[in-house]
Amino acid sequence: MDFRLTEEQEFFRTAVADTVDRLILPHVERIDEADEIPSELWREFTGLGYLGLRYPEELGGMNADPVTCMLFYEEISRGSVGFAQAVIMNMLMGTHFVYRFGSPAIRERCLLPAIRGEKIATMCFTEDQSGSDLAATRTMARKAEGGWVLTGTKNWITNGPTADFATVMATTDPAKGMKGLNFFLVEKGTPGFQPGQLLHKLGARGPACGELVLEDVFVPDENLLGAEEGKGVVYLGEILNEVRCMTGAMALGMARTAFGDGLEYARKRQAFGKPIGEYQLIRAKIAEMATDLEAARLMVYWVAWMIGEGMNPRKEAAMAKMFATETCLKVVDEVTRIYGANGFASEYGPQRYFRDARFLLYGGGTHEIIKDFVGREIVRER
């Protein structure tokens, strides 16, 4: 058993933390207030090459192990959840299937520019009546000569309104439920493909988020991202553990920022002649938050390690996502209490953490779905 990061991973984490401090922190409030990613920040940050972190070196990537990737997701989320969302969409969900199944021409046209930060990528699952319930996907892909015709409306698409290309989940046969689902690459400018209504979010503000509308959008055969038709859910399963672990790492990063602020405040804020951190009820909060944070950290990096070892920790990844996110929600709540009324003021950070943390509840599966899944796995484990 060895819980230490390698010297290289430590070095990487320190370098990312320093980059986040220098480049992202100065923009955090502006990103939240304007609900926009400053283009100069996007250019400067993506120019450093992080977007290729999990891809092979010959594609401009770093071929990083999952633990290293989680360190990155945690650190960038410590800076800004909104910015982190836009970046992670480009480096994981928005590009994975293009990398995995894209033809050389598609990789050249979409993946490589996305890794360089020159193109924005997104992934579309959610619809008006479906999210976690993927089998209810209504976006249809009909076979046509030389390709497919897609029709439907996707919703809650991070990077959607600005995306240069999207990996769209659509059913080729609704009667087959999950077995009818497939991924299709749809590029900006394809006739019939356009952004719909913009969504205004409570938190995790920054990247544009909203609808993507597909009206009889024709894409050629090579845009079906999958080696075999009807295997979309199987392919999704290949990155689901990573996506859930990543969400846990984001929660950790955010919770660390909130906890750090809360701790500082408890040390400085005086009440009845001494710092509030000297009172037992505040110390209890600090102790509980710190304990939960350690537990969440252990779970997230344990799962990352298992993924790196080639295991398939489906249950554990779901647990880690849920536990880290719930820890984050608890920490941001307690920190707003430590801040007293100042936790309610827009001049201080906690109100933003409080809003941002809610965002992590939904991605990678709601906790109701996750609990049902984890419970089912355990009950049937024999």
Partner 1 sequence: MKEVPMKIAVLVKEVPDMEALVKVAEGGKSVEVEKKRCLNFFDEIAVEAALRAKQAAGGSVYAVSAGAGTGIEAVRRALAMGADGAFLVDDPALLAADPLTSARALAAVCQREGFDLVLAGRQATDDEAGLVGPMVAELLGVPCVTAVTNLELQDGVARVSRETDRGTEIVQTPLPALLTAEKGLCEPRVPQVMGLMKAMKAQIPRMNLADLGVEAAVPLVVQDYRGPTKRPPAKMLEGEPVAAAAHLVKLLREEAKVL
Which CB sits closer to partner 1, 49 or 177?
A: 49
- Shortest separation between residue 15's beta carbon and partner 1, angstroms: 5
Q: Are 187 and 165 in contact (CB under 8 A)?
A: yes
Tokens standing for residue 247: 């969400």
11 in contact with partner 1 (CB under 8 A): yes
Query: Applying CB under 8 A, which of residues 35, 36, 49, 358 lies at the interface with partner 1?
Result: 49
For 214, half-sphere exposure in the C-beta direction (CA atoms, 13 angstrom radius) is 31
Of 41-49, 75-83, 162-170, 228-236, the window that binds partner 1 (rule: CB under 8 A) is: 41-49
Query: Applying CB under 8 A, which of residues 5, 23, 140, 149 lies at the interface with partner 1?
Result: 23
Which CB sits closer to partner 1, 50 or 354?
A: 50
Distance CA 113, CA 120 (A): 8
18 in contact with partner 1 (CB under 8 A): yes
271 in contact with partner 1 (CB under 8 A): no
Which CB sits closer to partner 1, 114 or 208?
A: 114
**Residues numbered 57-96 forming contacts with partner 1, rule: CB under 8 A:** 57, 62
Instruction: Give the total of residues touching partner 1 (CB under 8 A).
Output: 18
Query: Applying CB under 8 A, which of residues 28, 31, 41, 53 lies at the interface with partner 1?
Result: 53
For 328, half-sphere exposure in the C-beta direction (CA atoms, 13 angstrom radius) is 33
Give the other-Cβ count within 10 Å of 108's Cβ.
11
Query: Applying CB under 8 A, which of residues 26, 33, 34, 47 lies at the interface with partner 1?
Result: 47
265 in contact with partner 1 (CB under 8 A): no
Residue with tokens 């920040």: 41
15 in contact with partner 1 (CB under 8 A): yes
305 in contact with partner 1 (CB under 8 A): no
Distance CA 334, CA 317 (A): 25
Which CB sits closer to partner 1, 27 or 154?
A: 27
8 in contact with partner 1 (CB under 8 A): yes
50 in contact with partner 1 (CB under 8 A): yes
Query: Applying CB under 8 A, which of residues 27, 52, 102, 313 lies at the interface with partner 1?
Result: 52
Tokens standing for residue 194: 């356009």
275 in contact with partner 1 (CB under 8 A): no
| Chain contacts with partner 1 (rule: CB under 8 A) | 7-8, 11-12, 14-15, 18-19, 22-23, 47-50, 52-53, 57, 62
